Structure 1
């Protein structure tokens, strides 16, 4: 009988000025784990961003983690030197996640793997990826380390030069399956799901130790092509998963881990995943599940209005909503895809408020710092959202390779965007200019925080249609 190949999955550290666990699990890595396991491999998982690692919290020099509402919270963090290119931000810099000694201890406790797969998120978090891979190679010399994820996809040449990985993947799942087959031979069974991800098994969420929330993904891709967004670059093909598959994933966490909070990771939840969401919501209601749903990614305003979603969202257990307004200027709304306008936004907020959502549950994203924007435009948007009795959140523009606005950002910025991904950091604001400075951006973020404090003073409520038990804490 063939020996089963062993694959270790690793979620790396974050290095940044700020990071927060807003329902952030490496769903792509866990999906890879499910595919590899279905293909006959043993799979292990180490999460460098574990908030409850006993070997980290309480250790000298580490600022401990903190639990907040609905499974979110602060990561443990350790101060590290600020990279020179980011030094003018004037803020401390951290490595977020478990202590390196704890990481090495976790690695050493595992059987020697045949392959280590590391994921990556933001392009400017690559120093955390570098350090993660360096420790892996030290503990498991000679074991191949493959890197995938967003940084690997958007900056493949930089990742090949700087990450330390033996192989950087920026291609498709079939290409990954071919590489795994070449590595493992007959020990790897290439299943049809590698060529049709819509039929893939649910992500291997069972690998997450003591989860506080569950990640859900109804669909991949987005029908829009916003000039500042990399969704169409990272996922050009649109895929919708079955409600049965999603309910299976939800029930795994609900019954076996006691999870009650679930976050949707879709780029266009109500647009591409709407029919599946209705079916999933119906199953949740029929089984009488006490769950809370959250949408950290923006919901499309036009879908909220046109799809009549407000009452269904309330009745299905949605607690945290985020709407994507982006800007209140009509001409810019047209240039950015024509997804919404102010009239539609007001109707969406009104519908949500009438359904029973309180202001503290309706967040609204406004972009700040996109080339061509002014601070006045963003400030105006914050006040419009405040007056609509919704919570404004400033989303600082980050230049992303491959997007339509990337060439303009490169031309505008005084910093080496093409050579140094650290300059993509939204806190660094590489596209600053005399009429939109770093101080202007900070001032807008404070203005938005003040607006949220004002609305919270009204008094938070959990929308429940009078049925508090359906949303009670576990």
Structure 2
């Protein structure tokens, strides 16, 4: 059978290719091929896709990251009150149409949506697909479909879309069952399947996973609800990296998108192994600071790791305990001390701070910023998003702090400060961001 897999556009007020690759769809592609099916792949977020030069010359920036092609579009009515431009990020519509025209006959279409508030981009993508394939079975999965099954069915009902729940083999078997074709045996897909980047003709980085899931149960995070923590064997990681770099020898940046990269028991062996590949490695997902010691820090440096983000979230000790007890201020201090001793470029070391956590006070943000800057690392402010199924979300609903049926678009972390009266206001957050900008500029001026 012949399948078309499509990674949808992003519709938002802000988006950047900070190593974004549709890992779930790439795994689905590889599993379908393993079953003997044909797959064609269109990634609307591929900045180097064939034909893009007619619209914008692709340009890589920091370690392969870069800006998407964008177009300002009309806002959905529900966010008309938001004083921000609304844009479509990704492949120009005309180019997407050209690619759809070239596909020919197919038996099924698969797409997926990750961030829940990006569903609007998924809908617009499916609408465009339906102009060319009005009757072909179309399946939608991903984090959005899992966390918002009812909303998904309602939103995509008029587009004759099958909503797929679950992940890995479980989700794909729902597609195969529809066709009464051979289903996948219950093998360990994460261990056996190697990420399939064969559809990318030019690529400046690759994203991989050495593990999935996380044993911690942070109150704001949905990962433990979706995945059981497990890690890929070293042999398979070596095989996967070798295959990717053989097929794409120009790749110089490998990005690990693990949620718990440091928690595997054979971590030191893996870091020794990674030294065999002459590439830069990056950890953008917020590693666990309490796991860092001098030996691990040295091994990370020797292996070639460059950008490392630490999961800090808040400087308030009570809030640290309440949200999951995964980090303390002392943990962050010790980790940074180790990185400095190892000789890391400290401009590449950052710590995530979550703004608008339930119950958070505005002064906590200023304290967290000062703490990070005093340590010599970059604070990265991430606005909080309530995610269905998490402890925080359930408490917000139970206490009537958040309306139960709030549209996911309104829960976009950029938009929440515009309307959520129980949180930190847009004006207060703008002051925090200005404070951070001015402090960083003052530090840079001192270095001159």
Q: The TM-score by the shorter chain falls in which range?
A: over 0.9
Structure 2 unaligned regions, length at least 5:
none
**What is the CA–CA distance in structure 2 between the aligned matches of 1:438 and 1:411, rounded to whole Å?**
25
Pair 1:155 & 2:148 matched = yes
Distance 1:58 1:452, change over 3 A: farther
* Secondary structure of the corresponding residue to residue 445 of structure 1: helix
* Secondary structure of the corresponding residue to residue 229 of structure 1: coil
TM-score, normalised with respect to structure 1: 0.88
1:38-437 to 2 correspondence within 5 Å? 38-53=34-49, 55-56=51-52, 59=55, 66-163=59-156, 164=159, 166-186=161-181, 188=182, 190-193=184-187, 196-235=188-227, 237-257=228-248, 258-271=250-263, 273=264, 275=266, 277-285=267-275, 287=276, 289-305=277-293, 308-410=295-397, 416=403, 418-429=405-416, 432-433=420-421, 436-437=424-425
* CA deviation profile, 1:155-214 (whole Å, cap 9, x unmatched): 11111111335211112444435434433445x352443xx2343311112222311101
Give yes or no for contact 2:356–2:423 (8 Å, CA) kept in 1: no
1:415 Cα deviation from its structure 2 partner: 7.0
Distance 1:55 1:199, change over 3 A: closer
Distance 1:245 1:171, change over 3 A: same
**What is the CA–CA distance in structure 1 between the aligned matches of 2:260 and 2:446, rounded to whole Å?**
31
**What is the CA–CA distance in structure 2 between the aligned matches of 1:419 and 1:178, rounded to whole Å?**
31
* Secondary structure of the corresponding residue to residue 4 of structure 2: strand
**What is the CA–CA distance in structure 2 between the aligned matches of 1:413 and 1:419, rounded to whole Å?**
12
* Secondary structure of the corresponding residue to residue 346 of structure 1: helix
More deviation, 115-124/176-185:
176-185
Distance 1:244 1:122, change over 3 A: same
* Secondary structure of the corresponding residue to residue 29 of structure 1: helix
* Secondary structure of the corresponding residue to residue 389 of structure 2: coil
Q: What RMSD, in angstroms, separates the aligned Cα atoms of the two structures? A: 2.3
Distance 1:172 1:394, change over 3 A: closer
**What is the CA–CA distance in structure 1 between the aligned matches of 2:84 and 2:53, rounded to whole Å?**
23
**What is the CA–CA distance in structure 1 between the aligned matches of 2:290 and 2:195, rounded to whole Å?**
30
1:449 Cα deviation from its structure 2 partner: 3.4
Give yes or no for contact 2:308–2:349 (8 Å, CA) kept in 1: yes
Count of equivalent residues: 444
Give yes or no for contact 2:139–2:175 (8 Å, CA) kept in 1: no
Give yes or no for contact 2:213–2:230 (8 Å, CA) kept in 1: yes
TM-score, normalised with respect to structure 2: 0.92
Distance 1:177 1:152, change over 3 A: closer
1:414 Cα deviation from its structure 2 partner: 7.5
Distance 1:416 1:74, change over 3 A: farther
Distance 1:88 1:181, change over 3 A: closer
Give yes or no for contact 2:396–2:402 (8 Å, CA) kept in 1: no
Distance 1:82 1:189, change over 3 A: closer
More deviation, 5-14/335-344:
335-344
* Secondary structure of the corresponding residue to residue 190 of structure 1: coil
Give yes or no for contact 1:417–1:424 (8 Å, CA) kept in 2: no
**What is the CA–CA distance in structure 2 between the aligned matches of 1:192 and 1:216, rounded to whole Å?**
22
* CA deviation profile, 1:51-81 (whole Å, cap 9, x unmatched): 134645554xxx8764211110111110011
Q: Which residue does the alignment assign to 2:25?
A: 29
* Secondary structure of the corresponding residue to residue 416 of structure 2: coil
**What is the CA–CA distance in structure 1 between the aligned matches of 2:318 and 2:291, rounded to whole Å?**
21
